[in-house]
Structure 1
Amino acid sequence: MKTLFSIFALAEASDEEKLILIENSISDLAQITVDILSRYKFESEVFERRKTEFLFANDLKEIMIQAQKDTYGDGLNQNYMHPYMWINKGHYYGGGLSFYNFPYAFGGLFALGLFGKYQEEGVCLYLTIKNY
């Protein structure tokens, strides 16, 4: 739905508004790919290390910073990395919520891919999916 709204909004927007809409779209995609990948890397490292050791706050901070470095690379000024991101996300503490962020990345990218296929195939894509 968000993608459709963006398409319609772009069609009616001024040049300045188009830049804002496009920047927001790129920012959203970066969030569901790069930021969530960073969180995935953080969780993976925590799960791996806690098999053999107890992790203290400083360990978690180091793991978070390394995950951000690994995913953002030069795209994020190292002065703005967030070593306490793990505190802000309650799902890291729920036993049944491991890799909680993955569905956001998958769903967002899958929906965007489906919309791209719809632009190529039109209603035929709907019929293919319906009959599958």
Structure 2
Amino acid sequence: MAKPTPPETPADIDRVGELLVEASKLSNHKEFVIIGSLSVLASEISPPDEMLMSIYVDFYPKLDPGRAGEIARQLGPESEFAEQKGLYADAVSPFLAALPDGWEERLHRVAHPEGVIGLLP
């Protein structure tokens, strides 16, 4: 399978939600923390399109961060999902980002109609 190419349109919360739905099917988890460039999707201001041209979602299951790698192997850059959607899962650790104290209590909850929750700083 070919690696995904940069998207022609900016990522949006709906496309990220589709990835989280697939991650949920693989893991039976419902809440996923998203950090990295696409966490800007929780912003109250509209970021410039250039900030949303990422093809990967840095994530981990909130209650089981260690499963992120397993999920990313199925939804990673060479997956069928990535080929079809132009977006892929990239596993990260909760210790990767340098965020201020209390950041987890301030996560923005973004619910997808299929019952998964994206948690974005």
Bigger Cα Rg: 1
Fold-level similarity (TM above 0.5): no
Task: Compare relative contact order (CA 8 Å, sep 6+) and give the higher one, 1 or 2.
Answer: 2
More helix by share: 1
TM-score of the aligned structures, taking structure 2 as reference length: 0.28
More strand by share: 2
